[in-house]
Chain A
Amino acid sequence: MTEDAVAWVLLAAVTAYACAGGTDYGAGFWDLLAGGTRRGKRPRWLIDHAMEPVWETNNVWLIFVLVIMWTGFPVLFQTVFTAMWLPLALAAVGLVLRGAGFALRKPTQRLAGRRVYGAVFAVSSLLTPFFLGAAVGGLATGRVAPGTEASADAWSNGTSVIAGLLTVAATAFLGAVFLTADARRFDAADLVGYFRLRAWCSLAVLAVLACVGLVVTRDDARYVHDGLTSGIGLALVLVAVVSALATAVLLYRTATGWARITAVAGVALVVVAWGLAQRPYLIPTSLTVSEAAGATTTLRWLLLVTAIAVVLVGPPLVLLYRLDTAGALQPLTEADLRRTAAGREPESP
């Protein structure tokens, strides 16, 4: 019972990271495709402003996912990090490059420096979700079991590649939808159309990849494939498809606030459906939730800590997102750091 609850918490954290972190990765993806210095100036300006206050918070979900994994399901953690060594190591490198690139671009004034940091940020925004997605896809195929050693086959098979691409496409979709909304928020009328078009395109790519994925997983990841094409999994996937289509329509009507909700719902539902499709396994078909579960006392404490944390963290998180969407959060400008007239008189000796 307890372990099921913790598994739900884990799934919820993964979902939250997919949506919150995914949006940021998507913003980085569009930064990458924004074109040269002059052409990409406006979109990059928006991307910077939209991501700035929230990207660190969004990133912390990942740490939370890892902590729940090793505290709640130590065997799962050990297995995943042993078998998926390379993609996860590369994802970690990507995370460093991405965070550092983004954080250092802002205070850098030299154009050449900005270009380098921006490129680093954008490229790693593409690679990191791909590797994370590929690792997850590899788990779904059942190539990994407790004790499996690291091998390229575990994460470079068809399902893994499709899962990696799907992850990138989903982040691009989320990023484009949120940036469309941000463009409206920042009164950048030209960028509304710009990102709306990209949201539609990424949705189309997502649809194509999903169809390819259906074919590939039929033989390669049978258990998850079956779970996603029948019962509750299928129901959730269908609702997700409707959400995604609704997003496209809402964007057309520039109801961007609602489009954000449906876009997040679409991605979240697919992640939850995938989680349900794996039941009762954490790694199909070799490690079940109860086999992987750690000591029951710890799991109970983990739930307690989670419950307390939801109470403590929830309100500030809501406040952050509300302040952010209300436009109350703005970076300090150079001028703010320069109002120096007062108090700068040399002291009399």
Chain B
Amino acid sequence: MNSAIDHFLADGPAQLLPARELMAFTLGSHILLVPFGVALPAITLLMHYRGLRKGDAVALLLARRWSAVMAVQFAIGIVTGTVLSFELGLLWPGMMGRWGDVFGLGFGVEAWAFFLEAILIAIYLYGWRRLKPWTHFWLALPLPLAALMGAFGIVAANSWMNTPRGFSLDASGKPVDVDVRRAIFTPMFGPEYWHFVVGVVLTAGYVIAGVYAVGWLRGRRDRYHRLGFTVPFSVAAILTPVQFVLGDSIARSVFHKQPVKFAATEIVWKTDTHVPEYMFGRLHADGTISGGIRIPQLDSILAGFSPATKVTGLSSVPASDRPTATQATIAHWAFDIMVTIGSLLVLLALWYGWCWLRRRDLPGSPWFFRCAALAGGACLLTVECGWITTEVGRQPWIVYQNMRVAEAVTDTRAPILWTMLGLVVVLYVLVFGAFLTVLLRMSRRWRLADEGAATAAAPGDVEGDTPYGPRPLSTTGGKDGGGT
């Protein structure tokens, strides 16, 4: 990585590297919560509907518990998301000052959609006790739509950065003649949007299902775990092949609309036909490739369905206008990891579908559940990889071919930014660590309560809703979190 750091230092102002790292770290952390912000309400509502429709107490319990998780997750998502809004100004004032009015409207849609989501989620989370069951459900039903609307805004802004249009430049290089519709519906918008939406829904599905897969593997094979696994896993399994097609299609859109990014993700150096495909491998500054698996002709075939397809290479543009060899390698690895995991998940989904068609039952093999338990984590990794591919592949541009990252960066001195990065890393590690601890404690508490309920009536929770309440004197609640 040293060469990459040297390169950044040589290429831009000193504050560029810490600013990028800070943005990358905060966005990379926030993006892990995004699948749940968008899709957890939808999956919970699906379970909720099942519970109400069939009078299924287990489904309702699952929906309630997922709501309790959602309450914490949504709050952490809100604060880490707010940080990103601040950072657009704190780190990239140049971009917002110049282009804010061209592409900012997407954020405007997002802000309102998010507002609606926050309101509806509050009503949903706190409506369990007093609202009528079906009223409660119907009030929450617009939630997935609001989430899709929010995703629309964010992806519109990001796809504009990839394929900016809807403006012309005046003599001084300022954008004029803004055409909002063209700026929102840019060429990359459609592919990015569907790829993103399907990706986050299936990620949320696999992660939730993974929790119950672990329980299943540990021998808790009751209806609760079966239902908690089946509903989210089915959603994810249905979407996995869809995502495979969408992913293939977005790669081809990148090939047509951002040829240099495509060259980076496929480490293509020279514009040529009959271009081979490299699985992994490393691109060097002189254009040579070491390591990796070389498959002749395949890249041309994938890009244009024929070995004669001409693929633009990185060397077609000056070195200052394309990602460095290291950046290209990073984007390439991110892309390949994403594709590999995606392909494996298709196999997992087919396994599930096969057993379901044949026997109307879950696969019996523990290996299936081991894979299912890992699928959630793998999906979160693909979310990171997809984001790295699109962002690193666009370098050195923040607005493709219109503004360099170095032109957008703040004037704040590097030491301040490094300090801030250190502070934020510590802060986020603590917050995310606490978040996970809280989730694990909740899960364990429920499990112990469930086990206790099987033998005897669970003792009432004394400390439940009084913050700072004195320690209960009764012997039953004496141990913290019921730990043993």
Contacts and interface: CB of A to CB of B under 8 A. Distances in A.
Interface of A: 37-38, 40-41, 44-45, 48-49, 52-54, 56-57, 59-64, 66-68, 70-75, 77-82, 85-86, 88-89, 91-93, 95-100, 102-111, 114-115, 117-118, 149-150, 294-295, 297-299, 301-302, 305-306, 308-309, 312-313, 316-317, 319-320, 323-324, 327-347
B78 A346 contact: no
Given A85-B410, A103-B71, A56 B101 contact: no
Nearest to B123: A320
Contacts of A61: 115
Of A38, A91, A114, A332, most B-chain CB atoms within 10 Å: A332
Interface string B296-326: 0000000000000000000000000000000
Contacts of A63: 81-82, 85, 111, 114
7 contacts: A41-B469, A60-B115, A103-B75, A103-B76, A115-B468, A328-B131, A343-B56
B115 A313 contact: yes
A335 B481 contact: no
B257 interface: no
Interface in B99-128: 99-102, 104-105, 107-112, 114-116, 118-123, 125-128
B102 A66 contact: no
Question: Chain B binding site: helix, strand, loop or mixed by DSSP?
Answer: helix
B355 interface: no
B111 A104 contact: no
Contacts of B374: none
Interface residues of B, number: 105
Contact of B119 (A49, A77, A103, A317): A317
B90 interface: yes
10 closest A-B pairs by beta carbon, nearest first, are A294-B101, A81-B89, A78-B97, A71-B104, A74-B100, A103-B75, A99-B79, A343-B58, A329-B126, A309-B112
A114 B120 contact: no
B115 A309 contact: yes
B94 to A, nearest CB: 7
B125 A53 contact: yes
Contact of B79 (A95, A324, A343): A95
Of B123, B125, B221, B446, most A-chain CB atoms within 10 Å: B123
B119 A316 contact: yes
B115 A64 contact: yes
Contact of A295 (B101, B454, B469): B101
Contacts, number: 333
Contacts of A333: 129, 461, 464-465
Contacts of B108: 67-68, 71, 302, 305-306
Given A91-B86, A338-B453, A339-B61, 4 more contacts: A53-B122, A329-B126, A341-B453, A342-B58
Contacts of A306: 108, 112
Given A93-B424, A320-B119, A340-B61, A70 B104 contact: yes
Given A327-B130, A330-B130, A111 B89 contact: no
A56 B221 contact: no
Contacts of B411: 82, 149-150
Contacts of B72: 103-104, 106-107
Contact of A89 (B78, B97, B420): B420
Nearest to B410: A82
B461 A335 contact: yes
A345 B224 CA distance: 9
B100 A70 contact: yes
A344 B87 CA distance: 48
B223 A345 contact: yes
Contacts of A309: 112, 115-116
A232 to B, nearest CB: 29
Contact of A92 (B82, B98, B438): B82
A324 to B, nearest CB: 8
A327 B131 CA distance: 10
B465 A331 contact: yes
Contacts of B80: 96
B65 interface: yes
A48 B424 contact: no
B438 A78 contact: no
A228 B88 CA distance: 32
Interface stretch (B173-181, B197-205, B269-277, B387-395): B173-181
